[in-house]
């Protein structure tokens, strides 16, 4: 059985990361989403255990000190973290797992999981980003300004990532992300077992 891939997706807020990973997961049967823990309040329509595990700061601190998080960070004023167990379970059962985390988290995961796949998503322009944030209708003016300001900083982390997907036409962006994942599965360096199986069979036939 091949191991599942750890796929990290990061993007400035409003670039379309949530839209893309949801669509991506619907086209990747068997793949799972890494449900983060967060101390922020749930938004309308979000489901505890599906979108996030919404927990108190006290519980968050306990998870950090208990070594239960693969990474954690403070983002836009709240704490977020990736539970280690979900990553372990997915990889060992051969399932791909998609992490929607910020650039600080991406950098920490990269140090621990060298075989991870790191994808950065950008909108076609900063104007388009602003437009999407406003159209989403989820944030007030001050929050939008903070997110746009943060976007400029986040973009400077692009070189930590392996791939860049520009989310202009949604379907094309999702297909591009899926192609990246398909190609990563075909990497020779990930297929040591399969290759040694071929070599043995070849030796047996010789
Ligand atoms: P993020 O998770 O990166 O903050 P969202 O997935 O919430 O971003 O997308 C932000 C807004 O932009 C949403 O209203 C979404 O419907 C819209 N959106 C996403 N992708 C596109 C696209 N390719 N073209 C136009 N609008 C998009
Ligand atoms: P939101 O509150 O809009 O859902 O997410 C805000 C930001 O937090 C996004 O950039 C998202 O990728 C990031 N985020 C969500 N979960 C995690 C996590 O577990 N770790 C880190 N480092 N960032 C996360």
Percentage of the residues of the chain whose pLDDT score is greater than 90: 81
Q: In testing the pocket of ligand 2, which one of 36, 116, 154 has its CB within 8 Å of the most ligand atoms?
A: 36
Percentage of the residues of the chain whose pLDDT score is greater than 70: 99
Domain annotation covers residue 150 = yes
Ligand 1 mean position, distance from CA 15 (Å)? 6
Average pLDDT score over residue span 81-99 = 96
Average pLDDT score over residue span 145-174 = 95
Domain total of the chain: 1
Q: What single DSSP character describes residue 28?
A: S
CATH number of 135's domain = 3.40.50.300
Residue 124 domain boundaries: 6-34+96-205
CA distance linking residue 79 with residue 148, whole number of Å: 19
The rounded mean pLDDT for the chain is: 94
pLDDT in tens, 99-138: 999 999 999 999 999 899 999 999 999 999 999 999 988 8
Ligand 2 mean position, distance from CA 201 (Å)? 47
Average pLDDT score over residue span 84-108 = 96
* Cβ 14 under 6 angstroms from ligand 1: yes
Give pLDDT, residue 1.
Answer: 60
Domain annotation covers residue 78 = no
Q: Which ligand is nearest to the CA of 166?
A: 1
Give pLDDT, residue 136.
Answer: 87
Domain annotation covers residue 55 = no
* Cβ 86 under 6 angstroms from ligand 1: no
pLDDT in tens, 165-205: 999 999 999 999 999 999 999 999 998 888 888 888 888 87
DSSP string, 48-107: BTTTEEE--HHHHHHHHHTT-EEEEEEETTEEEEEEHHHHHHHHHTT--EEEE--HHHHH
Domain annotation covers residue 102 = yes
Q: Is the pLDDT of residue 2 over 80?
A: no
Ligand 1 mean position, distance from CA 18 (Å)? 7
Domain annotation covers residue 22 = yes
Are residues 80 and 105 in contact, defined by beta-carbon separation less than 8 angstroms? yes
Per the DSSP assignment, residues forming a β-bridge with 79 are 74
Domain annotation covers residue 174 = yes
User: Ligand 2, closest atom to CA 12?
Assistant: 10
Closest-CA residue, ligand 1 atom 12, reads 132
Domain annotation covers residue 54 = no
């Amino acid at each position: 059985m091949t191991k599942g891939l750890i796929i990290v997706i990061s993007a400035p807020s409003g670039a379309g990361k949530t839209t893309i990973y949801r669509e991506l997961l619907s086209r990747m049967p068997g793949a799972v989403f890494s449900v983060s823990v967060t101390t922020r309040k749930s938004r309308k329509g979000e489901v505890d255990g599906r979108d996030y595990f919404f927990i108190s700061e006290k519980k968050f601190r306990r998870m950090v000190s208990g070594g239960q998080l693969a990474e954690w960070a403070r983002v836009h004023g709240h704490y977020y973290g990736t539970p280690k167990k979900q990553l372990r379970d997915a990889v060992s059962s051969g399932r791909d797992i998609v992490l929607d985390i910020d650039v600080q988290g991406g950098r920490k995961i990269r140090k621990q999981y060298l075989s991870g796949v790191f994808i950065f998503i950008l909108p076609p322009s900063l104007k388009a980003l602003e437009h999407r944030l406003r159209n989403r209708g989820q944030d007030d003016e001050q929050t939008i300004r903070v997110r746009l300001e943060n976007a400029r900083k986040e973009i400077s982390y692009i070189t930590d990532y392996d791939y860049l997907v520009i989310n202009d036409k949604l379907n094309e962006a999702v297909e591009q992300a899926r192609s990246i994942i398909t190609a990563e599965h075909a990497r020779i360096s990930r297929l040591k077992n399969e290759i040694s199986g071929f070599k043995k069979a070849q030796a047996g036939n010789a």
